[in-house]
Every structure is written in C-alpha cells, then in structure tokens.
C-alpha cells in the first residue's frame, strides 16, 4: 500500500505530497514549485470528522477563525507533480485543497 507524505517547502511555502511505496527507494523530494529540498513534513492525511482551519489562501481571510469539519477522507486528484490533496468540508460547496488546511485539536 502506498503512503502519501505531505511536505511544506521552507523556501516558498508551497505544500506538496510525495507518494512513498514501501520497498521502493525514496528519492529526496523536491518542491514542485521551486525545486528546493528544504521542507518540513506535515501531519498525515486528513480524515472524515477532522477539525481544520483554512490557511494561506483567499478563503482563509474570508473565513478567518472559522473551524471546518472534513466531510470525507482526504483524497488525491491529478497526476504527478500536479497532484493535489483534496477534501470536502461540511458547509462548503466544492472540494478544497488540503495544502490550504491545517488540522487543529479541539
């Protein structure tokens, strides 16, 4: 089973995911935006029912301080380096990119 590991680039702030297949050699993941290899690892995939806040996007300013709840588990959309983690949120129409969400403890 493949495992998705999320990173945040320390150079440009871009969040990205790298697929790790057990048994395969993992290449040093580079940022999809700037190619930088300095990054911090972010927590695991979001799960249904997780509480999150929006960060680093237009909606985050609009909904500042609002807690959202995941309506689905996080899933992945797109291919290769354009792959994005996506989740649906309670009360929000359409999907939301998880790199603009931060899980919070309640």
Q: How far is the CB of 99 from Zn ion (least distance, A)?
A: 12
Report the distance separating Cα 40 and Cα 38, nearest Å: 7
Helices (H), ranges, 3-96: 58-62
Tell me whether residue 24 or residue 27 sits nearer to Zn ion (CB atom): 27
**Separation CA 68–CA 20 (nearest Å):** 29
Closest contact distance (angstroms) between CB of 38 and Zn ion is 8
Which CB sits closer to Zn ion, 16 or 96?
16
Question: Would you say 71 or 97 has its CB closer to Zn ion?
Answer: 97
CB of 84 to Zn ion, least distance (A): 15
What residue ranges bind Zn ion (CB under 5 A)? 9, 11-12, 14, 31, 33-34, 36
Minimum CB separation of residue 16 from Zn ion in Å reads 8
CA distance 97 to 77: 10
Cβ-contact 88, 72 below 8 angstroms:
yes
If we measure between CA atoms, which residue out of 11, 17, 72, 10 comes closest to residue 46? 72
Q: Which is nearer to Zn ion, 13 or 49 (CB)?
A: 13
């Amino acid at each position: 089973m493949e495992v998705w590991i999320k990173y945040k680039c320390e150079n440009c702030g871009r969040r990205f995911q790298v697929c790790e297949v057990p048994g395969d050699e993992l290449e040093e993941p580079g940022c999809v935006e700037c190619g930088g290899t300095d990054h911090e690892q972010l927590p695991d995939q979001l799960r249904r029912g997780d509480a999150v806040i929006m960060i680093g996007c237009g909606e985050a300013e609009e909904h500042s301080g609002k807690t959202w709840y995941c309506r689905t588990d996080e899933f992945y959309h797109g291919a290769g380096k354009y792959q994005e983690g996506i989740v649906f949120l309670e009360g929000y129409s359409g999907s939301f990119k998880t790199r603009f969400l931060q899980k919070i403890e309640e």
